[in-house]
Amino acid sequence: MKHLLWITGGRIIDPANNRDEIGDLFAMDGKLVDQLSDAEKAEATKVDAAGRVVTPGLVDIHVHFRYPGQTHKEDISTGTRAAAAGGFTTVVCMPNTSPVCDNAGTIQRIIDKVEREAVINVYPTGCLTLGMKGESLAPTGQLKSAGAVAMTDDGACVQSNEIMRRAVEYAKMFDLPIMDHCQDQSLTEGAVMNEGEWSIRLGLRGWPKAAEDIIVARNVILAEVTGAHIHMQHISSAASVDILRRAKDRNVSVTAEASPHHIEFTDAQLFDYDTGFKMNPPLRTEADREALIQGLCDGTLDCIATDHAPHTPTEKDCEFDYAPFGVIGLENSLASTLGTLYHSKRLSLSDVIALMTHKGAEICKLDAGTLSTGAPADICILDPDEEWTVDAEHFQSKSRNCPWHGETLKGKVKATFVAGKQVFDGKSITA
């Protein structure tokens, strides 16, 4: 028996196909189709989307689901449920698990778990170096064959330029993007927040922007030398945006992402030593925040990615110096990004949806982020104007380290569909 879906009367926004119109959307057996017959319509699951926006399912190419080895913080089940509640239908998981994803066996272990427990599409990444130690290369070809869609040592930037060059060259041979967490660790030892006025006021060890800028410049040079595609993760510095802008003017094969927290908050948020705002890279200044927004507006920065990084309340509830870096954001990232970019009139609704759908998918070459005929019927229905107050205590995620807790945002996910089947109804997981 065919599985049929008919979404009626919504404002369909599909940036990849320059579509923005009131209309109907149809799916058959998990794929989008142009039309259903009258008989098929009579049998289809019908969803009234009048007054709401229908978009491709959101795509996030930078999340941490902590499986294997750190499932007290998050696991595949809770992580994907959190993603579905946020309108996401496709995510890319980072490899800094326990053990790390530097071998085909660990990649297969994740894929098997995803098949059993995930309610959305999850793709793994492989480590650039063995043990994420930055000393010798991981088996790139084996990791790709096992299912890795990108290579990264996220959280442990490769410090050796020679090792990074060889890693980049090998990844290019296998047509895999390299995703890099840009941090010169010699400049950040013991650092816990942005170096500047607020670090001095608070008496905390400062983290200079140069630590990011130097590695971004290094990666631009390596991309230019090798012709490989290097993607810069969670950019936070105005100077890095400028370096990337100049590189793109020369047609260097580089891309970059910004995170919702870096485009909304600044280091002034740490005035009361709230570890909920401790992240890597750290929150920067208002000038940096504005540069990130401008970079998203002019295409220098290519997509939004949450860097969803769960930690337990016990881990975060300690002195600022000792708390782990990282925040969660899958369940509110659409609303927070809409507030920063759309409701502030910096970008159109279609532009914001593009940053959170096909633009990220294209970086990792994923079949996601569009409403094209024949594409997977991964769909998000949202009300961009509905206000709600973030309550992390009721999140689908296992963790609660959300800097938006208690904040009133505008933009609510009303339904999420994966392969034509509803997995979230606006209140609860239905898968």
Q: Are 120 and 91 in contact (CB under 8 A)?
A: yes
Calculate the dihedral angle through the C-alpha atoms of 194, 188, 275, 260, rounding to the nearest 10 degrees.
Answer: 60
Cα–Cα distance list, 125 to 16, 179, 235, 320 (Å): 25, 9, 19, 31
Q: Are 407 and 18 in contact (CB under 8 A)?
A: no
CB pairs under 8 A, 24+ apart, for 31-38?
31/374, 31/375, 31/376, 31/377, 31/420, 32/371, 32/372, 32/373, 32/374, 32/375, 32/376, 32/377, 33/373, 33/374, 34/373, 36/4, 36/6
* DSSP 8-state code for residue 348: -
CB pairs under 8 A, 24+ apart, for 15-24?
15/350, 15/351, 15/353, 15/354, 15/357, 15/358, 16/56, 16/354, 16/357, 16/358, 16/369, 16/370, 16/371, 16/372, 17/370, 17/371, 17/372, 19/371, 20/350
Any idea what the Cα angle at residue 244 is, between residues 264 and 366, rounded to 5°?
Answer: 80
Q: Which two tokens stand for residue 194?
A: 């942005």
Catalytic residue among 274, 307, 317, 425: 307
Please say if 274 is a catalytic residue: no
Distance CA 404, CA 281 (A): 18
Packing angle, helices 210-226 and 238-249, rounded to 10? 20
Give catalytic residue positions: 307
